[in-house]
Amino acid sequence: MSTDDLDFMDMMMGEGVTPSKPTDKADLAGHNEKRGDAGLKERRQAAEGEVHEGLSTEQVSLLHPFDPLEWKRDGVQDGVYRNVRLGRYQSDARLDLHNKTPAQALNELIGFIAECSKFGIRSVVISHGRGNHEKAAGNIMRSYLNQWLPHIPEVMAFHSAQKHHGGLAATYVLLRKNETQRLENWEQHQKR
């Protein structure tokens, strides 16, 4: 032990040192929410490599309010995508993003898709609204979804819903099979 360590131990053992009280500490819980900086957590995660750059609430290119959302990942069969587009798959879950900020919507979307994947839900509907002009709240949310969904690995395809399911104010989303479903599918095909 060095003399500095011994001096420090003597100081700690002496009577001149008193432990700090728990009330003397700063309360940082909810600090970021109090500041109103919704993008701080997102920027921190992006800097750490946890979030893909497409999953951002910073900037979005607005879509025309009457353009349908449509996208499919490479490898999705045309017949499967046609069934998604026509709403032929039963939707087992629904997410409503009305009156949400982009940061809230992104958090809910990621949690919702993770939960659906965990339980093996393959087809879902996301309600987001539409609006009649580009800067309407529903159209802004549609534009964010169009930007976010292709960057979520569990998403295989999506398309604007049919009129009886919400039309341009809702989107069908086809999710990837989870590990259990892939294993069952593999075993089924091995028996043939």
Write out pLDDT tens, residues 40-70: 555 555 444 444 566 888 888 999 999 999 9
pTM: 0.70
Write out pLDDT tens, residues 102-149: 999 999 999 999 999 999 999 999 999 988 898 999 999 999 999 999
Number of domains in the chain: 1
Domain around 166: 63-183
18 occurs within a structural domain: no
4 occurs within a structural domain: no
40 occurs within a structural domain: no
Let me know: does 187 contact 109? Beta carbons within 8 Å: no
Extract the tokens encoding 90. Answer: 């039963």
Whole-angstrom Cα distance, residue 111 to residue 160? 21
